[in-house]
Structure 1
Amino acid sequence: MSTAAPRPIRFVHQGQIQEVKDLPPTTTVLQWLREQAHCTGTKEGCAEGDCGACTVVLGERHPETGQWQQKTVNACIQFLPTLDGKALLTVEDLKPASSDQLHPCQQAMVDCHGSQCGFCTPGFVMSLWDIYQTHEQPPSRTALADALAGNLCRCTGYRPILDAGQKMFEGPRQPFAPEPWLQQLAALQGQSPDGLQYEGPAQTDSRMRSRFFAPTSLSDLASLRLSMPDARLLAGSTDVGLWVTKQFKALGDIIYLGQVPELRRILTPASVTGQPDALDIGAAVTLEEAWSTLASHIPELRELWLRFASPPVRHAGTLVGNLANGSPIGDSAPILLALDATLVLRAGQFTREMPLPAFYLDYMKNALKPGEFIQSVRVPIFSKDAGEILRAYKISKRRDSDISAVCAGLFIQLEGDTIKQARLAWGGMAATARRASQTEAAMIGQAWTETTLRQAQAALAQDFQPMTDLRASKDYRIKVAANLLERFWLETRPHNPLRADEVQVWPAQTA
Structure 2
Amino acid sequence: MVRFLLNNEPVELQVSNPNMTVLNYLREQQRKTGTKEGCAAGDCGACTVVVASPSDDGNSLNYTTINSCIALMSSLHGKQLITVEDLASLQAQHPVQTAMVNHNGSQCGFCTPGFVMSAFAFYHSDNAPERENVIDALSGNLCRCTGYRPIIDATIDACSNKTADKFDEQQATTLARLQALSREDVTEDSQLLMPETREALQKAIADNPDATLVSGSTDLALEITQKHQSFKTLISLSQMRCLQEVDVSESHIIIGAAVPLSRAMKTLVSHYPALKELFTRFASLPVRNQATMGGNVANASPIGDTPPLLLALNADIVADNGSDTRSIPANAFFTGYRQTALQSNEWISAIHIPLPQPDQYLAAYKISKRMEDDISAVLAVFNVGISDGVITSVASGFGGVAATPVECTALAASLVGKPWRDVQTLTEGRNLLTHAFNPIDDVRATAAYRKQVLGNLWHRFWLENQQDNLIPTRVVHHA
Whether TM exceeds 0.5 here: the answer is yes
- Give the corresponding residue for 1:218: 198
- Give the corresponding residue for 2:394: 422
Which letter maps to 1:338? A
1:11–1:19 contact (8 Å) kept in structure 2: yes
- Give the corresponding residue for 1:158: 148
Q: Give per-residue Cα distances to partners, 1:153-175, cap 9 Å, x unaligned.
A: 11111111111111113546133
Taking the aligned partners of 1:120 and 1:168, their CA distance within structure 2 comes to: 18
- State whether structure 2 residue 330 is matched by structure 1 residue 351: no
Larger CA deviation: 395-404 vs 236-245 = 395-404
- How far does residue 260 in structure 1 lie from its aligned partner after superposition? 1.2
> TM-score, structure 1 length as denominator?
0.88
1:232–1:255 contact (8 Å) kept in structure 2: yes
2:377–2:400 contact (8 Å) kept in structure 1: yes
- Give the corresponding residue for 2:225: 245
Tell me which of 340, 364, 374 is aligned to 1:366.
340
Other structure's SS at 1:59 match: strand
- State whether structure 2 residue 429 is matched by structure 1 residue 464: no
Other structure's SS at 1:434 match: coil
2:129–2:159 contact (8 Å) kept in structure 1: no
- How far does residue 320 in structure 1 lie from its aligned partner after superposition? 1.0
Listed as ranges, the gaps of 5+ residues in structure 2 are 475-479
- State whether structure 2 residue 10 is matched by structure 1 residue 14: no
1:226–1:347 contact (8 Å) kept in structure 2: no
Taking the aligned partners of 1:330 and 1:436, their CA distance within structure 2 comes to: 17
Other structure's SS at 1:72 match: strand
User: What pairs up with 1:9-408 in 2 under 5 angstroms?
Assistant: 9-21=2-14, 23-62=16-55, 64-65=57-58, 67-96=60-89, 98-99=90-91, 101-135=92-126, 138-171=128-161, 173-175=163-165, 176-177=167-168, 178-192=171-185, 195-199=186-190, 211-269=191-249, 276-383=250-357, 385=358, 387-408=359-380
- How far does residue 82 in structure 1 lie from its aligned partner after superposition? 2.1
Taking the aligned partners of 2:154 and 2:467, their CA distance within structure 1 comes to: 46
Which letter maps to 1:240? L
- How far does residue 21 in structure 1 lie from its aligned partner after superposition? 2.7
Q: Alignment identity in percent?
A: 42
- How far does residue 473 in structure 1 lie from its aligned partner after superposition? 1.1
2:216–2:295 contact (8 Å) kept in structure 1: yes
- How far does residue 60 in structure 1 lie from its aligned partner after superposition? 1.7
Other structure's SS at 2:189 match: strand
2:198–2:322 contact (8 Å) kept in structure 1: no
Taking the aligned partners of 2:157 and 2:467, their CA distance within structure 1 comes to: 47
2:275–2:363 contact (8 Å) kept in structure 1: yes
Which runs of 4 or more aligned residues in structure 1 lie more than 4 Å from their structure 2 counterparts after TM superposition?
A: 494-498
1:222–1:346 contact (8 Å) kept in structure 2: no
- How far does residue 225 in structure 1 lie from its aligned partner after superposition? 2.6
Q: Give per-residue Cα distances to partners, 1:278-325, cap 9 Å, x unaligned.
A: 011111111111122100011111111211111100000101111111
Taking the aligned partners of 1:39 and 1:23, their CA distance within structure 2 comes to: 21
Q: How many equivalent residue pairs?
A: 469
Taking the aligned partners of 2:50 and 2:410, their CA distance within structure 1 comes to: 47
- Give the corresponding residue for 1:491: 464
Taking the aligned partners of 1:84 and 1:248, their CA distance within structure 2 comes to: 25
Q: Give per-residue Cα distances to partners, 1:246-280, cap 9 Å, x unaligned.
A: 111122221111211111101112xxxxxx21011
Listed as ranges, the gaps of 5+ residues in structure 1 are 1-7, 200-210, 270-275, 504-511
2:197–2:242 contact (8 Å) kept in structure 1: yes
Q: Give per-residue Cα distances to partners, 1:210-262, cap 9 Å, x unaligned.
A: x1111112332233334433320101000001010011112222111121111
Taking the aligned partners of 1:486 and 1:225, their CA distance within structure 2 comes to: 47
Which letter maps to 2:129? P
From the superposition, tell whether residues 71 and 170 of structure 1 become closer, same or farther in structure 2 (CA, over 3 Å).
closer
- State whether structure 2 residue 446 is matched by structure 1 residue 453: no
Which letter maps to 2:120? W
